[in-house]
Amino acid sequence: MSNDIHFLAEFADGAPARSALELAAGAADLAQQSGGAAVALAYGHGAADGAAGLGAAGAARAIVLGDGTAPAITHAAAAAATVREAAPAAVLAPATPNGRDLAAALVGLLDLPAFGPVRAVRVEGGALRTEQATLQGTFITVSEPVDGAPQPAVVLVLANTFTPIEGGSGSAEVSRAAATDAGALGKATVVESHPADAAVVNLEEATVIVAGGRGVGSEEGFKPLQELADALGGAVGASRAAADAGWIPYQLQIGQTGKVVKPALYLAAGISGAIQHRVGMQSSENVVAINKDPDAPIGEFADLFVVGDLVQIVPRLTEEIKRRKG
Amino acid sequence: MKIVVCIKQVPATTAEKRYTDDLRLDRTSAESVINPLDEYAVEMALKLAESGAVDSVAYLSMGPDSAAEALRRALAMGGDEAYLVTDPALAGADEWATARVLAAALDKLAPDVALMGMASDDARGSLVPGAVAAMRDLPLLSYGAELMLADGAARIRRLSASGFDIIEAPLPVVASVTDQVGEPRYASLKGIMAARRKPLETWSLADIGVDPGSLHGGAVTRMLEAKPPEAKAPTERVENVGADEAVAKIADWLAARKLI
């Protein structure tokens, strides 16, 4: 058993995902508390060449589980063998579909305790403590592994829980995971890939989000929201109603079954604020809502609630922001 | 071709929820329902049965005796039979213990596809499908917007960074589906009547060959504290003003917080 903190570092299109940089910073911080080192478990397209670069993000070492575009879950056996051998104090995983798949496989293959998705994690007197929002955000709970629980703990971490280290230097010491039989989990293969014509923003990375809901009314109705987002230096998101209506890709859906976001500013236009939407954005630092309905639930938890017509307000707000920014 | 859909009984989404003094979810205080995201898995299984790709649909749940109600409700939507694993040793089970129990029950049922929802309303770790796949040494096809079965293999359509991928694995598999599979059907009155006559079997841990002593008391995690979130400042409301005034207020508000 070591005091090291492992983290899953996903690569895509030749570069580390934002989640890898956030978890590198988080693992480095936790490793300081535990008296160990931050170690990346790197996988995905670009992992072999890019793993050393995680040193600047906070990793002391990086172990490459595998490169290429195979589904993340196919690296599960390599991850489990690595974790079993190294016996770290904790494994951090991003609370994304791929991160959850790999985390779940570690839990199943090694019988490990699982936590999260957490909004904070720390080591207190040698013990791991996690903090998460539960019951649709009505409670904050603090948890730990039971005495005698198998180690390490697997911790799912929400996007934007940790801030990537800027201007870091140094490179991580890279090794390759020992060859393992990928087992049944290795049998999933991508047989067709259908990327969209245009790239879609990763909302988890946006510091400003302008989100539209049913009240936006149409695909066309999202254009003024995009213009407002552009003026604010942010991205457009949507409620499930807008994604289901086909006005916007599902990748931009925010909520229980979409992305969980935590921007500095969340501006919701025409979104009523159903609980399923709320759980995807309730950690935003500042929430502004514009809605025609004075009784919309979002009026109960927004910081600023404007009762009015988004069609009238949004374009004028864009102009005003451009004017003030000069 | 046989599908077993795993469902969880949870407090209704809109119900007021609380923890008991020993920090377990108080399941007596609120109306209970099938986890809403599991209903999409039920819908997907029933669609596959209607298309002829699947011969039988069974349901599996782990929970207290009252979870039989959730299984009856699923049977009212369609499907053939249901199994409830219930045991005093499972109160307060965490994701690891839940996965262990479901994996053992699924080993006994041996379906071609064990199908689950993408998350549960009351936990949201979404780890059970992957942990069950790992424990049973089967492929995992997770977060499917659609599940397809043909030629001894299962396929899912899954969102990628910008579009979607089709991911395939040989049967048997563990799979999970999202709320994009289509709205779950309502149980008809006829369905509700028919569900009363469908077989619902109750299993203890012994029935599925799990030694309660191997479950670490039902959990390898422990909750230390449950507290309300930090109090927020009350909402500032702007109403009964024209668009220009509303815009000026929003811009001032953003500027005061250095957001523009």
H or E element at residue A131: strand A127-134
A165's tokens: 């280290």
Angle at A238 between CA A233 and CA A243, to 5 degrees: 140
Residues 6+ apart with CB under 8 A from A282: A133, A137, A301
Confidence of residue A44 (pLDDT cuts 50, 70, 90): very high
Residue B124 falls in which region: left (phi positive, over 0), alpha (psi -120 to 50) or beta = left
Phi then psi for residue A133, to 5 deg, are: -85, 130
Nearest to A114 by CA among A86, A138, A146: A146
CB contact under 8 A, B95 and A156: no
CB contact under 8 A, A265 and B128: no
pLDDT at B221: 93
For the segment A267-283, the average pLDDT, to the nearest whole number, is: 95
Same domain, residue pair A272 and A138? no
For the segment A181-192, the average pLDDT, to the nearest whole number, is: 97
Chain B interface disruption, residue of A75, A119, A129, A139, most B CBs within 10 A: A139
Domain count, chain B: 1
Residues of chain A contacting residue B121, judged by C-beta atoms under 8 Å apart: 136, 256
Residue A259: is its pLDDT beyond 70? yes
Peptide bond just before B172 cis, omega within 30 deg: yes
In the listed set A187, A215, A234, which residue is the last one of a domain according to the structure? A187
B51 touches chain A (CB under 8 A): no
Same domain, residue pair A152 and A268? no
Residues of chain A contacting residue B246, judged by C-beta atoms under 8 Å apart: 290, 306, 308, 313
A85 touches chain B (CB under 8 A): no
pLDDT in tens, B10-36: 988 777 778 888 888 877 767 899 999
Distance, in Å, from the CA atom of A145 to the CA atom of A135, rounded to the nearest integer, reads 20
Lowest mean pLDDT among A91-100, A197-206, B76-85: A197-206
Residue span of the structural domain in which A240 resides? 203-325
A26/chain B closest Cα distance in angstroms: 19
pLDDT in tens, B226-236: 999 888 889 99
Which chain B residue shows the shortest CA-CA distance from A106? Answer: B131
Cβ B1 vs Cβ B54: under 8 Å? yes
**Which DSSP state fits A145?**
E
Same domain, residue pair A153 and A27? yes
Same domain, residue pair A181 and A242? no
For the segment A190-213, the average pLDDT, to the nearest whole number, is: 94
Distance, in Å, from the CA atom of B42 to the CA atom of B79, rounded to the nearest integer, reads 9
In the listed set A158, A187, A216, which residue is the last one of a domain according to the structure? A187
Residues 6+ apart with CB under 8 A from B194: B75, B76
pLDDT at B137: 97
Residues 6+ apart with CB under 8 A from A12: A44, A45, A46, B161
Residue with tokens 């929970």: B63
pLDDT at A138: 84
For the segment A19-25, the average pLDDT, to the nearest whole number, is: 98
B135 touches chain A (CB under 8 A): yes
Same domain, residue pair A149 and A26? yes
Residue B14 forms part of a structural domain: yes
CB contact under 8 A, A140 and B229: yes
Q: Decide: helix, strand or coil at residue A28.
A: helix
Distance, in Å, from the CA atom of A290 to the CA atom of A310, rounded to the nearest integer, reads 6
Angle formed by the axes of helices A76-86 and A97-110, to 10°?
Answer: 60
Which chain A residue shows the shortest CA-CA distance from B233? Answer: A303
Q: What is the ipTM of this complex?
A: 0.95
pLDDT in tens, B187-208: 999 999 999 999 999 999 999 9
Pairing of strands B113-117, B32-34: unpaired
B214/chain A closest Cα distance in angstroms: 11
In the listed set A187, A211, A235, which residue is the last one of a domain according to the structure? A187
B206/chain A closest Cα distance in angstroms: 20
From the CA atom positions of chain A, what is the Rg in Å? 21
Residues 218-257 of B with CB under 8 A from A: 219-230, 232-233, 235-241, 243-244, 246-251, 253-255, 257
pLDDT at A288: 98
Same domain, residue pair A148 and A75? yes
CB contact under 8 A, A146 and B222: yes
CB contact under 8 A, A104 and B131: yes
Residues 100-129 of B with CB under 8 A from A: 100, 103, 118-119, 121-129
Residues of chain A contacting residue B176, judged by C-beta atoms under 8 Å apart: none
Chain B interface disruption, residue of A143, A147, A227, A281, most B CBs within 10 A: A143
Alpha-carbon distance values, B119 to A110, B8, B179, B245, B250 (Å): 22, 10, 10, 43, 36
H or E element at residue A241: helix A240-244
Which chain B residue shows the shortest CA-CA distance from A12? Answer: B161
Same domain, residue pair A182 and A213? no
Residue A295 forms part of a structural domain: yes
Residues 86-145 of A with CB under 8 A from B: 97, 100-109, 111-117, 129, 133-145
In this structure, the number of other CB atoms found within 10 A of the CB of residue A178 comes to 10
Residue A19 forms part of a structural domain: yes
Residue A192 forms part of a structural domain: no
Nearest to A116 among B121, B125, B163 (CB): B125
Pairing of strands A5-12, A90-94: parallel
Residues of chain B contacting residue A257, judged by C-beta atoms under 8 Å apart: 37, 118-119, 178-179
B84/chain A closest Cα distance in angstroms: 22
Which chain A residue shows the shortest CA-CA distance from B163? Answer: A195
pLDDT at B240: 96
Residue B204 pairs in a beta bridge with none
Same domain, residue pair A55 and A158? yes
pLDDT at B92: 87
For the segment A175-201, the average pLDDT, to the nearest whole number, is: 94
Residues of chain A contacting residue B99, judged by C-beta atoms under 8 Å apart: 104, 107-108
pLDDT in tens, B134-168: 999 999 999 999 999 999 999 999 999 999 999 99
Residues of chain A contacting residue B170, judged by C-beta atoms under 8 Å apart: 187
pLDDT at B29: 67
Nearest to B251 among A153, A294, A320 (CB): A320
Same domain, residue pair A101 and A178? yes
pLDDT at A233: 96
Which chain B residue shows the shortest CA-CA distance from A301? Answer: B235
Residue B117 pairs in a beta bridge with B177
Residue B173 forms part of a structural domain: yes
Domain count, chain A: 2
Residue A134: is its pLDDT beyond 90? no
CATH number at residue B201: 3.40.50.620
Residue B58 forms part of a structural domain: yes
CATH number at residue A20: 3.40.50.620
Residues of chain A contacting residue B17, judged by C-beta atoms under 8 Å apart: 135-136, 138
Same domain, residue pair A66 and A170? yes
Residue span of the structural domain in which B146 resides? 2-218
For the segment B217-243, the average pLDDT, to the nearest whole number, is: 92
Same domain, residue pair A168 and A233? no
Residue B73: is its pLDDT beyond 70? yes
Distance, in Å, from the CA atom of B260 to the CA atom of A80, rounded to the nearest integer, reads 46
Sort B208 into a burial class: Cβ within 10 Å, 0-12 / 13-18 / 19+: buried
Q: Decide: helix, strand or coil at residue A270.
A: coil
CATH number at residue A219: 3.40.50.1220
**Which DSSP state fits B235?**
P
For the segment A19-42, the average pLDDT, to the nearest whole number, is: 97
For the segment A130-146, the average pLDDT, to the nearest whole number, is: 90
Which chain B residue shows the shortest CA-CA distance from A292? Answer: B239
pLDDT at A230: 97
Residues 270-289 of A with CB under 8 A from B: 275-276, 279, 286, 288
Residue B113 forms part of a structural domain: yes
Cβ A132 vs Cβ A52: under 8 Å? no
Residues 185-204 of B with CB under 8 A from A: none
Residue B226 forms part of a structural domain: no
Q: Decide: helix, strand or coil at residue A118.
A: strand
Same domain, residue pair A168 and A289? no
